[in-house]
Structure 1
Amino acid sequence: MGSTKNPAFTTDTLRESIESDTGDSLLNLYEDDAEIRVIDRDAQPSHPKVLRGRSEIREMLDDIYSRDMIHRLGQCVIDGDHAAFTESCEYANGDRVYAESMITLRDGRISEQILIQAWDD
């Protein structure tokens, strides 16, 4: 059974989760065995940073949401068991972060994510 039978993952749910004050609701969108591959200036495509399981994902989200920044969901496209979305963030000092993600859903929850991000220096 895929996400087409389980409406748990929607653009509205993703927006509310990303734009909240903590990463808790966003973490709830992930499967227990989810995997995120992060590609950025420190983790290049041939050696991405890989987070496995909700505990490692929680650590990342706790770090991100502990920072003084605003998170905004940009575009989001959901097609069956796949989705893609953009996210922009702004620190209090004006520095910005931009991210694009491609995800795979299993039973309406994120099982795999590829996250590509860039930020101001």
Structure 2
Amino acid sequence: MGTAASPAFDTEALRRGIEGRETNTLLAMYAEDAELRVVDRNTQPSHPKVMHGRNEISDMLDEVFGREMSHKLEQCVVEGDHVAYSESCEYPDGVRVLSTSMLSLQDGKIVDQTLLQAWDE
């Protein structure tokens, strides 16, 4: 008797969502009770910004993708139930942002994400 394989993580949907600024595409990749932690200059490791569940994550995605800026998925590595990716962004005035994320998956959906980001200053 074989073992059922876990659903695959859709890296092309991740690319479409990020580069096309498609909030709904990205939101569909998260489990209902997912947790997202953001660490940056303002929300440092000892006090990260933490969002719980798709509603809070949706608010953050709407805010980020509502900004006038470009987004590019640079690299994405999938290993079992873990995903790592880097994203570069640029505002019209030339200010750049670089972020990296580590994801944990369950049944092909994101259940945990830690996002580190840095801006030009």
Q: By how many angstroms is 1:34 displaced?
A: 0.3
Across the aligned residues of Structure 1 and Structure 2, the Cα RMSD in angstroms comes to 1.0
**Aligned twin of 1:6:** 7
* Residues matched between the structures, number: 117
Q: Flag the structure with more relative contact order, 1 or 2, with Cα contacts below 8 A and sequence separation at least 6.
A: 1
- Could you list the per-position Cα deviations for residues 4-31 of structure 1 after superposition, in whole angstroms to 9, with x for gaps in the alignment? 5212x23212111111133111111100
- Could you list the per-position Cα deviations for residues 18-49 of structure 1 after superposition, in whole angstroms to 9, with x for gaps in the alignment? 11133111111100000001100010001111
Q: Do the aligned residues in 2 keep the contact of 1:22 with 1:62 (CA within 8 Å)?
A: no
Q: Distance in 2 between matches of 1:28 and 1:103?
A: 15
Unmatched tracts of structure 1, length 5 or more: none
**Aligned twin of 1:108:** 108
4+ residue runs over 4 A deviation: none
Q: Distance in 1 between matches of 2:41 and 2:21?
A: 26
Bigger radius of gyration among the two: 2
SS of the counterpart of 2:42? coil
TM-score (norm 2): 0.92
Q: Do the aligned residues in 1 keep the contact of 2:88 with 2:96 (CA within 8 Å)?
A: yes
**Aligned twin of 1:119:** 119
**Aligned twin of 1:51:** 51
TM-score (norm 1): 0.92
- Work out the percentage of aligned pairs sharing the same amino acid: 52
Q: Distance in 1 between matches of 2:54 and 2:70?
A: 23
Question: Partner amino acid for 1:61?
Answer: L
